[in-house]
Structure 1
Amino acid sequence: MATALSWLGSYGASVIMLSATLPESKREEYMRAYRRGASAVHAIEAFPTSQPAMNNDFGNPIVPGFQESKSPTEKGWRYPLISSVTADGESTTSAEPSGRSSRVELTMLDDDDATLVQKLKQQLQDGGAAVVIRNTVSRAQHTYDVLKEEFGNDMDVMLDHSRFLACDRASKDEDLIKRFGKSSGPEQRNAIVVATQVVEQSLDVDFDVMISDIAPVDLLLQRMGRLHRHHRGQDEGERPESLRQARLYITGIEQCSPASPPLFATGIESVYQRFFLMRTMAILNIAPGETTMVITPDDIPRLVQTVYDTEHLTCPAAWERETTGERAARDAMLEVRKNSESTAGQFGIFPSWYEKRPFSLGSWLNLDIPDPDGSNNSQSRKSRASVREGDDTFEVLVLQQDDQVTIPSRNLPSVVFSSPSCMARSDIP
């Protein structure tokens, strides 16, 4: 992202970035990258067009008089904050929040099926819209099966995750917005939605109560944005009486004690860094029997900046000492970040201000990266560039066997199409 911004700055392109939960360090990094690019363009154009060997140590921009902004820390604690940057400098302006303030009660919930079912029965005794957000598809599938068995005769139980076919995802998103969007009525909203991270952004949906796996604080705040998102009458009078106070219950924590570091449910640390999960628990006081009131948007900058400040330890002292503690988790996170940056550097486009490269988009093609299809060298195949880390993925055509082999798609009206829910609840070995 920073490199892309440096090139956009070099070409004088206008860029608008929107985020409700961007850490201060990232905001500064992005602004610095754009300004470097915008400042360096004329100096770099004068350099020769020779092509030296690839060197990922880009150093500082060769711009006479350029000085990095040392913005005061307090700036990142204001919210909303409008920042602008050009080659000549940067400015920040505080703005009045455009929306209403929300107060969300946050409580930890034991991570077992019986407790989940009991809590939902208690919360939905007078009806209402509930969402259960899981961090992995397998957890979402399991939770859906449990809740479908328990509640399926009394209310709709819906499943939404990223492994649906694209046509099914589009149809499901449309249905979610219709049933839980701003204009939805009480008669439509009596349901439980089990989902992964697909509901935490982009969808304009509004639930009465939320149960969510633990996640870094910025993502929890994003999820809170789907809780009591819209006014439902005066003093939320159109919601069931027991659900007029917004409540978020946190799951995914198998062990929590002030005397030892927490233990998270299987799979959660493969999605999110343990370091940020621990700090989120500490800053939000997530513990058995504790309730924390989160006020948005007022608390957003303080929570986000504190959790993502890697220089200072935040967790209880007893969480620091062990090999699974905060200090060890921070070291592991920094090592993962270092390795990721090193891997990305093998394919990364050099910044626009890099003095050993000509200022030209065409020179992007002059990197000495082996052709993954040009030899049998395994290292060459490993060098295949990709836009993100992770295992390779590939698309498949899913066929449905009936009297003939057909491709299930709502875009083909002649095709016999069965419910996609069976497919979405299954894993392909």
Structure 2
Amino acid sequence: MGTQETAHPPCELEQLLSPWGKAKSNDFSNYHPILYHMADVAHVAHLLYQSILTPSVRRIIAAELGLTESQTGRFISLLAGEHDIGKVSSFQFRSPIVKEILANTELNIVHPDYQPHGVITEYVLSRIDEPCITGWNCGKRLKRALARLTAGHHGRFPKDTQLSLGRNADGGEPWAKIRKNLLFQLTRMFEEAPPIEIKVSDLTEAGLVPIIAGLITVADWIASSEAFFPYEPLQPIHEYPAISRARAEKAVSSVGWKQTIDKVTTHERTAASFEELFGFSPNEMQKTVADIVEVSDCPKLIIIEAAMGEGKTEAALYVVERLLAQGFAQGMYLALPTLATSNAMFDRVRDYLGKKAAQNSVRFNLQLVHSGKLLSDSFEELRMATIDESDEGNVVAEEWFVGQKRSLLAPFGVGTIDQALLGTLQVKHWFVRLFGLAGKVVIVDEVHAYDVYTNELLKNLLSWLRRIGCTVLLLSATLPHEKRGQLLQAWGAVQYSEYCAYPRVTVVQQDRSLTKTFSPPAKKQPVKMTFHKTNPTALAVMIDKELPVTGRAAVICNTVNRAIQVYRTLKRCLEPAEWVVELFHARTLACWRQQTEESVMKHYGKNSSRDGKRILVATQVIEQSIDLDFDWMATDLAPVDLILQRMGRLWRHYRSERPIPFPHLCILADEDADGIVQLPNHRANIYEPYILYRTYLAIRWLEHIDYAADIDRLVQLVYSGEMTPPDQRWDLLMETHRQNMIDRRNELLAQAETVLLPDPKQGARAILRPGNTAEHNDIELIDDDDPKVHRTVRAATRIGDPSILLICVGELEDGTALAPFSACVPDLSQVKELMRFSVSVSSKKIFQAAIDLEPPDEWRSVPMLRHARLVRFERGVAQIGKTSVRLSKQEGLQWNAPDQEVVVDADI
């Protein structure tokens, strides 16, 4: 055990500045003293506390600690500065120079025990009982919790089992004296004031864990930059605080953080009207939401359930506008199901912020938050905009926030839900992700789209978001009553109405919910419903009959292979009749997919020209958050809520002329001789069979669907309503699949339980106490794209087959060149070019074959490429293991098994 730290002998300049805190890699002759680095972190933390935390979040911290806000800011700064005191230990002997210097002194440690310095930080801070040294004082129980918070700044909190340190780790009494001197000098660097007395006995509010630990970690990241805090000749200790403060001010401003927040808080006190923001008057739903946010009680949960195309996104952005103006939010994160929907929404949010920036002369920092952001032209434009140093009327993507773990820290972000959900899993730096969301408005779109496993993570996320000062908006066409109730309970609502007329807006303030209904917009045309066999040839005949002259049609398939089969047949049958047939799915090269997205928006979007006949065969990539408008649609059988979501792309916008009198939705499904719908084989069936059977029975005999009357009714009927099977065979079939679904759901819930953080309702100690989470059960989840990481320790936000990234080089069948490859470490422009020729594949066959390949050595130091596999094509064909794969611009990536024609998988 180490020595109890009790006194502080006179400090000497040489002794205090000798321990190193930061050094150049493999060059310990040029270093930044630990005292200087601790001061740097303390000053950055103080600026972050003042600048980026909303008043409501600062009040949360102050109330929990029983301090004034001024005292809280000083305490957080000191605690942050003390984060690296554990480096004053055996850690110093990592430097060969230090090891040689100390070899014959009382500070020598003959056999250093190199414990993580965060462990020693907790060990030291939890045992010091002299507030004049640390600048603060509290009871032992709370002191241990606070020490653990600052000790976790490298991504994981220490475990109790690591805290049994011997002299070979902490250095014993000689090193204890130096540590006390350093802490005392750090305290003196701030204004003279009595030690802060924290009288609460323990840390109870779990939300403080990510807020405090995240702030300290981010402050350390900024203060560790040599560009902002250079390694220079030593200055006298009394001169360094002013130097450090000035550098901290410049650093926080330079990364593009403080200037944005300052501008928002000074310019946004008067919110723009709805008409000023969007150029049109709000409908009844948007007015209802606007009335809700006039009540300033925050944080709050708002669930908007309204038909597709009713402007839920605009309503949510208006909430952002109001809360920014009221000072209840410091930014926004808009979370969507997929990369494609994120890219589409990014453009909309950029335009929204662009109007605000121009009106108020504000520089907004907007990030695209997903793994493929560097391939987005829109995002690249914002990155290039940072070259313009003007702060006036601009939307940019500040470079410091582009890194994977930093993107959520940006004031404004659009990305996938997965990036936020990782904050609920026991991954390294989970608390930084939650800190990045603290005090923001978080909008989750397409809430109905998530399965049981992901929904369980979402519930945990909601519970956390409330405790870190977020207002949350959940957007959906409609939700099953059971799912809606689960989300309300996760937030903390103890009273809520289970049933309420549709469409509706539900708001939770404090612990009570209120649901308001509103009049739907002018009645839309009912959608004509028909059923047709899945045979693509017969489908082609019907389509040409339905739209003989002009029109826009869509066929939505549940898997890529099914889409390719339908595309081939429709192309063969309809092109002679002057149809343009297009294919859109995700299993294609990134550059081709981007071109297809642009073509789809051009020919099927809101402002598209409507001449000629065009048909789009697609997978679920067009199901959500992409503003497309079709005259006629066919879809494979899917769960009822997804069918309705797809239906929302029919007659989405008003047009004076349509080629048919009614929007037409055709369900593609085959029946056996007894009238029972036939589902695909289990490998191609990506949806729950029990829900598909119930969906089929709910809609089979409908002749039309009315938006206002049927959307909610059908969803509730399929997911929770009473349904009598037509006969005994149906009854037996459905009961078998019902039980199978229950078993699978229980398995998924059990899987989620093993990876989730504890529910924050259990309090801070449950989060910090070893033995209560996956991490503390010695299962350290890995947030990494390495396909070799076993699924039991992978930080999965969704359940499904693992995927692997392929970079395609060589040539296509017609000789067209693919990605350029050279045997050298690629620079950023070369990385982007390689990624343009990438495709992610989740087929078990391809995954198992490709995982045995090794990435080129030149890629191992490049984050975006280090886990990718290089596949070389000759005339459009490549060999991965024993499987031959084909690549074409028209159809994407395909493969055949040696003994069969088509391998069906669930890639979408």
TM-score (norm: length of structure 2): 0.38
RMSD: 3.2
1:274-423, aligned counterparts within 5 Å? 274-284=689-699, 286=700, 290-309=701-720, 312-322=722-732, 325-354=733-762, 357-358=765-766, 366-371=775-780, 382-401=792-811, 406-407=819-820, 421-422=889-890
Secondary structure of 2:665 counterpart: strand
Query: For residues 31 and 145 of structure 1, do their structure 2 counterparts lie closer, same or farther at Cα, with a shift above 3 Å needed?
Result: same
1:296-349 Cα shifts (integer Å, max 9, x gaps): 132111111111117x44432435433xx1221111111110011112211122
Code of the aligned partner of 1:406: A
1:181 lines up with 2:583 in the alignment: no
Of 121, 141, 147 in structure 1, the residue corresponding to residue 570 of structure 2 is 147
Do 1:136 and 1:267's aligned partners in 2 also have CA atoms closer than 8 Å? no
Structure 2 equivalent of residue 14 of structure 1: 471
| Equivalence for 1:156 | 580
- Output the amino acid matched with 1:370: I
SS for the counterpart of 1:15 is strand
Question: AA paired with 1:131?
Answer: A
- Greater shift, 83-92 or 419-428, is seen at 419-428
Residue 424 of structure 1 pairs with residue 892 of structure 2: yes
The CA distance in 2 between the partners of 1:384 and 1:205, in whole Å, is 36
1:12-37 C-alpha deviation (Å, 9 max, x unpaired): 3111111112222111111111116x
**Alpha-carbon distance between aligned partners in 1 of 2:896 and 2:648, rounded to the nearest angstrom:** 33
- Counterpart of 1:33 in 2: which secondary structure? helix
Aligned mate of 1:239, from 635, 638, 658: 658
Separation (CA, whole Å) in 1 of partners of 2:752 and 2:680: 30
Distance 1:267 1:400, change over 3 A: farther
Q: How far apart are residue 371 of structure 1 and its match?
A: 4.8
Higher helix share: 2
Q: Which residue of 2 aligns with 1:252?
A: 669
CA-to-aligned-CA distance 1:368-427 (integer Å, 9 cap, x gap): 243589xxxx99763333111111112111223259763499x759x99x9953451633
C-alpha displacement of 1:208: 1.1
Structure 1 residue 116: Cα displacement: 0.9
CA distance in 2, matches of 1:336, 1:3: 20
- Which stretch of the first structure deviates more once superposed, 290-299 or 149-158? 290-299
Q: Return closer, same or farther for 1:319/1:207 CA change in 2, 3 Å cut-off.
A: farther
Distance 1:318 1:268 in 2: 27
Q: CA, structure 1 residues 425+366, in 2 after alignment: closer, same or farther (shift >3 Å)? A: closer
Query: Is 1:271 paired with 2:695?
Result: no
Could you tell me how far 1:226 is from its partner in structure 2?
0.8
Partner amino acid for 2:748? S
Corresponding position of 2:8: none
1:208–1:380: structure 2 CA closer, same or farther, 3 Å change rule? closer
Determine if contact 2:775/2:781 at 8 Å carries over to the other structure.
no
Alpha-carbon distance change, 106 to 83 in structure 1, aligned in 2, over 3 angstroms: same
Does the CA-based 8 Å contact 1:128-1:186 persist in structure 2?
Answer: yes
CA distance in 2, matches of 1:182, 1:405: 33
Counterpart Cα distance in 2 of 1:313 and 1:10: 40
Q: Alpha-carbon deviation of 1:144? A: 0.5
AA matched with 1:332: N
| Counterpart AA for 1:82 | V
1:199-238 alignment, distance < 5 Å: 199-233=622-656, 238=657
CA distance in 2, matches of 1:85, 1:293: 35
Matches of residues 43-192 of structure 1 in structure 2 within 5 Å?
68-69=494-495, 71-73=497-499, 75=500, 78-98=501-521, 100-153=523-576, 154-187=578-611, 190-192=613-615
**How far apart in 2 are the matches of 1:121 and 1:135?**
23
Deviates further, 121-130 or 363-372: 363-372
If asked which structure has higher relative contact order (CA below 8 Å, sep 6+), I would say 1
1-structure distance, mates of 2:666, 2:606? 23
> Are the equivalent residues in 1 in contact too, given 2:554–2:630 (CA < 8 A)?
yes
Structure 1 residue 119, shift from structure 2 partner? 0.7
Q: Report the AA paired with residue 19 of structure 1.
A: S
Unaligned ranges ≥5, structure 2: 1-457, 783-787, 822-829, 838-875, 877-886, 898-908
Cα distance, 1:70 vs. partner? 5.5
Distance 1:391 1:300 in 2: 32
Query: How many Å separate the matches in 2 of 1:129 and 1:403?
Result: 31
Measure the CA separation in 2 of the matches of 1:326 and 1:403: 51
Q: Counterpart of 1:21 in 2: which secondary structure? A: coil
- Counterpart amino acid of residue 703 in structure 2: T
Using the alignment, how far apart are the partners of 1:200 and 1:256 within structure 2? 32
Question: Shift in Å at residue 123 of structure 1?
Answer: 1.1
Residue 139 of structure 1: how far off its partner (Å) = 0.5
Give, in whole Å, the separation in 2 of the partners of 1:405 and 1:133. 29
The CA deviation at 1:254 is 4.2
State the alpha-carbon separation in 1 of the partners of residues 790 and 574 from structure 2: 53
Letter in 2 for 1:251: L
Letter in 1 for 2:631: D
Q: How far is 1:101 from its partner?
A: 2.0
Instruction: Give the partner amino acid of 2:707.
Output: T
Distance 1:211 1:403 in 2: 34
Distance 1:99 1:203, change over 3 A: farther
Partners of 2:796 and 2:807 in 1: how far apart?
22
- Percent identity over the alignment is 30
